[in-house]
Amino acid sequence: MSETRPESDVEPADAAAERTKPHRRPSPIGSRPLARPRTSPAALAPNTARSGHATAPVHRVSAIARQRRRVALLALAGLALLAAAMLAGICLGENDLSPARALNALFFGTGDRGDVLLVGRFRTPRVLSAVIAGAGLAVAGAVLQRVARNPLASPDVVGITGGASLGATAAVALGLAAPLTPVAALGGGLCAATVLGLLAVQIDGSQAAPRLKGGISPTRLVLVGLAVQAGLTAAVNLFIVRFPAELASSALHWTTGSLYGRNWNETIIGAVTMTAALTAAFALHRRAAVLDLGDDAAGALGVRPGPARLQLLAVAVVLASLAVALTGPVGFVALAVPHLVHRLAGPPTPGTLALNALAGALLLLTADLVAQHALPLDGLPVGVVTATLGAPFLLALMARQNRPDPRTAR
């Protein structure tokens, strides 16, 4: 083979090799229904194989474009559902209002003064808190699972929510004013993450191949995180057991995760800080995508794996802590939403990250509506609902993981 052989030589050789495999036989020219699975061998059709030019065939809809369209459709559907759920959130309650009455009271402040108070003061902050926290939790989970390369990594598993709970419980124990509880939760989450980071790095350092400067290996991160979470849960329980009864019930209520009694101040602070953290998550998306290729490939593309992983980790921690500060440690959302979005929308892109935010908001809000209105029990915290959903989901996930990976079983 000479070095100057034409491009077209490359392809038929391979296409011929492919054709010998019966299951990869190219389909007739032009027959390429969109409904075919993405693994369709139609892409190997001889016409595309021979036209080795820089200009792609006009009729081709690339996998990337197809995914974009899918994400856009899902986002539209998600937005519609979210709008409906938000409307339900401000309408439903002990006094059910008609949508017209509720919206009127919210946006124009007209009508019954009781309505205005009910919708503006109580229901809207609760709905918005659910949206903000749900979005934050889901994106935190998506980022964490990606960085840790572990589908079970989520803020509730690696100790971040545990730290936030401990912070909040400590605040209650010390008799701090109620508005300081979320601040303490945020501080606790960040402290737990720092401890997690230090432990993971130190354990790394004792190995034959130390990775300094924040080089945390994904597996260690999860294992150390499990230990941190277990320790923190024990500490929270200790606090609650030693508390006077009335404080204990207050702390317990907080540590199950609840949207009860959110006010406008908390909601606005949460919205502003969460927007900033979400922006950071989107800004880091491309770096995360390169990091997915493995440390060496990422390094060769100009992404230093250690610092990049730390940045992503920091964003995930802040997102999760802010969410926990607003609602308490609501489980399941951060774990499940990224999996659902991955199944529906395919491999991660900025679009799927946005879908994560949307789906997280929708899930948390819906769970809260269910907890408030659809169950016979009164005053059930939303965390109980999500945790009840979460346990079977986690088991199903593990069962699926235990099946042989189709990629390795080739």
- The residues of the shown chain that bind other proteins, judged by CB under 8 A, are 1, 3-5, 7, 10-11, 13-15, 17-18, 38-39, 43-45, 48-49, 52-56, 62-64, 208-210, 283, 286, 289-290, 292-297, 299-304, 346-348, 407
Three-class HEC string of the chain? CCCCCCHHHHHHHHHHHHHCCHHHCCCCCCCCCCCCCCCCHHHHCHHHHHCCCCCCCCCCCCHHHHHHHHHHHHHHHHHHHHHHHHHHHHHCCCCCCCHHHHHHHHHCCCCCHHHHHHHHHHHHHHHHHHHHHHHHHHHHHHHHHHHHCCCCCCCCCCCHHHHHHHHHHHHHHCCCCCCHHHHHHHHHHHHHHHHHHHHHHHHHHCCCCCCCCCCCCHHHHHHHHHHHHHHHHHHHHHHHHHCCHHHHHHHHHHHHCCCCCCCHHHHHHHHHHHHHHHHHHHHCHHHHHHHCCCHHHHHHCCCCHHHHHHHHHHHHHHHHHHHHHHHCCCCCHHHHHHHHHHHHHCCCCHHHHHHHHHHHHHHHHHHHHHHHHHCCCCCCCHHHHHHHHHHHHHHHHHHHHHCCCCCCCC
Residue 317 C-beta: closest distance to other proteins, Å? 23
For other proteins, give the closer residue by CB, 55 or 402: 55
- Which of 131/281 has CB closer to other proteins? 281
- Residue closer to other proteins by CB (options 293, 391) is 293
Closest approach, Cβ 104 to other proteins, in A, equals 42
Nearer to other proteins, 120 or 346 (CB): 346
Shortest spacing between CB 348 and other proteins, in angstroms: 8
CB of 291 to other proteins, least distance (A): 10
- By beta-carbon proximity to other proteins, the closer residue of 234 and 300 is 300
The CA-atom distances, in angstroms, between 10 and each of 149, 276, 286 are 35, 49, 32
CA distance 252 to 246: 10
Nearest approach, Cβ of 251 to other proteins (angstroms)?
Answer: 41
Q: What is the residue whose two structure tokens read 């559907």?
A: 77
CB-nearer residue toward other proteins: 40 or 233: 40
Of residues 120 and 299, the one with the C-beta less far from other proteins: 299
Cα distance between residue 46 and residue 48, in whole Å: 6
Taking the least distance from each CB to other proteins, the nearer of 26 and 167 is 26
For the bound state, the minimum distance from the C-beta of residue 401 to other proteins, rounded and expressed in Å, comes to 13
CB of 309 to other proteins, least distance (A): 14
- Closer to other proteins by Cβ: residue 253 or 342: 342
Shortest CB 44 distance to other proteins, Å? 6
Residue with Cβ nearer other proteins (95 or 401): 401
Rounded least distance, CB 386 to other proteins, Å: 26
Residues whose CB is less than 8 angstroms from the CB of residue 103 and which lie 6 or more positions away in sequence, other chains included: 87, 90
Give the number of C-alpha atoms closer than 13 A to the C-alpha of residue 220, restricted to the C-beta side. 18
Q: Least distance to other proteins from the beta carbon of 185, Å?
A: 32
